[in-house]
Amino acid sequence: MDLKQLSTFHRVTTHMSFTKAATELRYAQSSVTAQIKGLEAALGKELFERLGGKIRLTPDGERLVPYAERILALVDEARCSLGDEAEPSGTLTVGAVESLISYRMPVLLEFFHHRYPRLQVALQSTTCAEAHESVRRGVRDLGFLVEAETRHEGLETKVLGAERLVAVVAPCHPLNRASPVSTSHLRMFPVLAPGPECSYRSLLEAEFCDGAEAPISLLEFGNIESVKQGIEAGIGVSVLPEITVAGAVESGRLSVLDWQPSFEVFAQIVWRQGRQLTKEAQIFIDLVTRTTGQEKGSLIGLAS
């Protein structure tokens, strides 16, 4: 049994697919198959059952998984401890929600490109739930999220701060002349919202339905940019992260209302519990921590 075989075994169990493991590892599928067979021969145990085009772990394979994870984690820890002087390199895989990818990540990625040319940050758009699962399984190194919960089973969390949510309308909208604005005022108009990947959507629906005579249905408008265009066209109102509307408010295309939600969501980074952070992951976390929350103050009244 060697580390290469063990690493390949771990990637196969992560994806439960020889093909996907081969793609990620950039091996031929025959090489992955040979390594698994070599590991089975070394242990004298079958680790996978082949069922047509699918595989599943045998009881022996199930028992090996936590040992493989611990061994590989220790190897990563040793590399981090002995490699402090080396230039950050390799690939750091980060799952992030739309608002963070579009409005926070470009500056960070530019910094990484110039400061650490040998380190590639692979940014992948995802929902919070998908990010949780992929980081737990080791498919991604980090998750960069916006959501209300800050404790996640099997994950370590660094909370970066509250992500401000604001109600926005077109400058000509009648609510733009009101102050303050209540939720009952907002639900008098169509409420536009991003699709189901929106991390705070269920909280927003609960906010609008609380005290309403009938359930309020949000108008699903795709992504955040589509919602902003709908609001600019005067279709209704929306609640979006402040960072996503700052440019439109400053240019006078949108106005922020004097309204506060009853809930909070937080920008946060998650990684697998019990896993030693690599130097590259720690650099990413430190940079995001320094830059998050440095935006300008409240936009309320700026475009009124």
Q: For residue 52, give the amino acid letter.
A: G
Residues 103 and 164: beta-carbon distance below 8 Å: no
Alpha helix positions (H), the chain: 3-15, 18-25, 29-43, 59-82, 98-103, 105-115, 128-136, 183-186, 201-209, 224-232, 242-250, 279-291
CA distances from 128 to 7, 196, 273, 283, 293 (A): 27, 11, 17, 22, 20
Q: What are phi and psi of 15, to 5 degrees?
A: -95, -15
The tens-digit pLDDT sequence of the chain (304 residues) is 788 898 899 889 888 889 888 888 888 889 999 999 999 999 999 999 988 778 999 999 999 988 888 888 788 777 766 655 567 888 899 999 988 888 888 888 888 888 888 888 888 889 899 999 889 888 889 999 999 999 999 999 999 999 999 999 999 999 998 889 999 999 999 999 988 778 888 899 899 988 888 878 889 988 899 999 999 999 999 999 999 999 999 999 999 999 999 999 999 999 998 877 888 899 999 988 888 755 544 554 444 4
Residues 12 and 35: beta-carbon distance below 8 Å: no
Q: Give pLDDT, residue 278.
A: 85
Q: Give pLDDT, residue 113.
A: 85
Q: Give pLDDT, residue 293.
A: 58
CATH architecture of 165-256: 3-Layer(aba) Sandwich (3.40)
Q: Give pLDDT, residue 230.
A: 95
Q: Give pLDDT, residue 84.
A: 56
User: What DSSP designation does 211 have?
Assistant: T
Q: Give pLDDT, residue 89.
A: 81
Task: Specify the length of the chain in residues.
Answer: 304
Q: Give pLDDT, residue 259.
A: 95
Q: Give pLDDT, residue 266.
A: 94
Q: Give pLDDT, residue 295.
A: 53
Q: Give pLDDT, residue 296.
A: 46
Q: Give pLDDT, residue 304.
A: 42
All residues at 6 or more sequence positions from 48 whose CB lies less than 8 Å from its CB, including other chains: 12, 36, 55, 56, 57, 58, 61
- The span from the CA of 79 to the CA of 155, in Å, is 22
Could you give the residue range(s) of every CATH 3.40.190.10 domain in the chain?
90-163+265-291
- Indicate the fold that domain 3-82 takes in CATH: Arc Repressor Mutant, subunit A (1.10.10)
Q: Give pLDDT, residue 81.
A: 67
Burial of 285 (0-12, 13-18, 19+ CB in 10 A): middle
CATH of domain 90-163+265-291: 3.40.190.10
Could you give the residue range(s) of every CATH 1.10.10.10 domain in the chain?
3-82
